[in-house]
């Protein structure tokens, strides 16, 4: 009987220590952050971009350009990159500790500064990190498809 009690106690302790165990609310919180970022790309708001991005952000565009947080936000709010509409599909979210890996297909109607209106279809990888400010985008890389 004593051995059974010890076995059950050990199993409960191991189950309680699994820091990579996440619930549906964690995934929903990441999805909400991704959706708010998408909305903010269409209707740029500098304060929302700052809330949603890490100071260490590295933002890779499909043309090979890599921007830091300041440059990325400036590009969005000044209209250098202008999204008239933006749809995300085929999204997956994988959680590991305080990190989320998000992949999706990205389709947008654009009218970037100095260019004719157009469309873009991409595959995007985002890395989000949960901290005191909530979920923040740490890294993003896009590739044309």
Predicted confidence at residue 64, as pLDDT, reads: 96
Predicted confidence at residue 122, as pLDDT, reads: 98
Q: Per the structure, how many domains does the chain have?
A: 1
| Alpha-helical runs (H) found in the chain | 2-16, 24-42, 46-52, 69-77
Residue 54 to residue 31: CA distance in whole angstroms: 17
Residue 33 to residue 35: CA distance in whole angstroms: 5
User: In the sheet that 66-68 helps form, which strands lie side by side, from edge to edge?
Assistant: 66-68, 53-60, 134-144, 118-131, 99-110, 83-96
DSSP line for 88-106: EEEEEEEEETTEEEEEEEE
Q: Has residue 7 been placed in a domain?
A: no
Residue pair 77/71 in contact (Cβ under 8 Å)? The answer is no
Q: Has residue 27 been placed in a domain?
A: yes
Q: Has residue 6 been placed in a domain?
A: no
Q: Kindly report the pTM of this predicted structure.
A: 0.83
Predicted confidence at residue 30, as pLDDT, reads: 98
69-83 CB burial, b ≥16 within 10 A, e <16: beebbebbeeeebbb
Q: Tell me which residue range forms the domain holding 33.
A: 23-144
Q: Has residue 11 been placed in a domain?
A: no
Q: Has residue 102 been placed in a domain?
A: yes
Q: Has residue 18 been placed in a domain?
A: no
In the chain (145 residues long), the average pLDDT of successive 10-residue segments reads 47 43 80 98 98 98 97 97 98 97 98 96 98 96 97
Residue 16 to residue 24: CA distance in whole angstroms: 17
Predicted confidence at residue 69, as pLDDT, reads: 99
The CATH number that applies at residue 139 is: 3.10.450.50
Residue pair 103/124 in contact (Cβ under 8 Å)? The answer is yes
Q: Has residue 33 been placed in a domain?
A: yes
Residue 132 to residue 112: CA distance in whole angstroms: 34
Q: Has residue 10 been placed in a domain?
A: no
Residue 142 to residue 68: CA distance in whole angstroms: 15
């Amino acid at each position: 009987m004593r051995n059974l009690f010890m076995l059950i106690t050990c199993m409960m302790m191991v189950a309680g220590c699994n820091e990579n165990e996440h619930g549906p609310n964690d995934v929903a919180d990441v999805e909400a952050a991704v959706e708010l970022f998408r909305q903010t790309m269409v209707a740029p708001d500098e304060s929302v971009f700052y809330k949603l991005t890490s100071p260490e952000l590295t933002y890779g565009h499909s043309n090979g350009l890599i921007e830091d947080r300041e440059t990325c936000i400036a590009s969005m709010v000044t209209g250098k990159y202008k999204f008239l509409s933006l749809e995300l599909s085929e999204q997956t979210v994988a959680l590991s500790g305080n990190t989320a890996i998000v992949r999706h297909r990205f389709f947008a109607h654009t009218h970037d500064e100095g260019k004719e209106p157009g469309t873009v279809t991409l595959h995007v990888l985002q890395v989000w990190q949960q901290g005191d400010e909530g979920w923040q985008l740490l890294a993003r890389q896009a590739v044309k498809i």
